[in-house]
Structure 1
């Protein structure tokens, strides 16, 4: 049985659909937010969707939050990325910590990009909802998400994982982004599907 996080309702019924159909069901958004739990499969979902649209760009909240804060980055995301996108312009954004710590490069979106997918824990927050055309919530078993996270980051990061969850759990419980999602995507689907071209989805309540 799937163990969900506190307050998150179980989604269903599930069905497998081509990734391109997911975008059609959402009204073919230009700016799509993909939210979910850490280790839940958000990046995989974002990449699978982006692969269906030539020229699509995937951005990561982790790049904006880098050496800044776990979740106190909404103003940086809005002013540096989402507001310029809403005005129809290109993006070439360097968050403050990039300059402070000498990180090279920038977060870049070319002008007239047909699809911008922003993935990461917290991107579905209320204060950014006016700047995205659609939101997907990736629902994943809590134990599987933790296993993946520690596999990705290393078992020696267990203390950091606990610190992160202590911040993430109340943040998501208060924000409840799944209630604003257009669709729910399974981050660890049991349903048979083609993992390269399909996603397993359920209607949002």
Structure 2
């Protein structure tokens, strides 16, 4: 695996059951778990698996950050979702851009359940005081790009193949320096690889890079 700029290399990966990983993750009775990682790394897959085992709610950073400045949305996530959850309040939040652009619905979270926040920047330093457990999803940099562009093309979210590829590189121009500055992997409680053999397996790694308990899966 060749991770992105600034990341340490985690190794000695060992397969363990997903249930065992979730049990370890929940050992401190967290209220909020952040799943952070590069675009295309497998964050959404891991978040869904964790929430499925734990009976939790997944909040996608992309929904909070929709039409907000790139990596300029931490106060929206804090005030609209994380602070109410920590007060034990149910969340039904519409970021300002949703009204401006006519998006229906709301971001919802049940504060009585585990809340898993996933997305690039979910574990950023500005939110550290509102997060109980941080999981960093490590991925091969080139493979994450290949998977991410293929996903975006298939969904049509950023236009046709040419437009999706152009947007990916525009996004990387902001994501790469943001992560190099913020370095969430150094604060991670668990490090997780972005691929796994099957949905029921998590691959635990050894090594002394950073302060994380090094884990893989998702």
Q: What TM-score do you get using the length of structure 1 for normalisation? A: 0.92
Q: Is the 8 A contact 2:36 2:135 kept in 1?
A: yes
How do residues 38-117 of structure 1 correspond to structure 2 at under 5 angstroms?
Answer: 38-54=39-55, 56-113=56-113, 115-117=114-116
Which of 183, 186, 193 is the equivalent residue of 1:176?
Answer: 183
What is the root-mean-square deviation in Å for CA atoms of aligned residues? 1.3
1:7 is paired with a residue of what secondary structure? coil
Equivalent in the alignment of 2:195: 188
Equivalent in the alignment of 2:19: 20
**Greater than 6 Å deviation, 4+ residue runs:** none
Deviation of the 1:116 alpha carbon: 0.8
- Larger RCO (alpha carbons 8 Å, 6+ apart): 1
Structure 2: runs of 5+ lacking an equivalent: 154-160, 207-211, 214-218
In structure 1, what is the Cα distance between the partners aligned to 2:204 and 2:92?
33
Q: Is the 8 A contact 1:141 1:188 kept in 2?
A: no
1:201 is paired with a residue of what secondary structure? strand
In structure 2, what is the Cα distance between the partners aligned to 1:180 and 1:137?
9
Equivalent in the alignment of 2:209: none
Equivalent in the alignment of 1:158: 165
Deviation of the 1:39 alpha carbon: 0.4
Q: Is the 8 A contact 1:29 1:134 kept in 2?
A: yes
Aligned length in residues? 198
In structure 1, what is the Cα distance between the partners aligned to 2:186 and 2:205?
13
Q: What TM-score do you get using the length of structure 2 for normalisation? A: 0.87
Structure 1: runs of 5+ lacking an equivalent: none
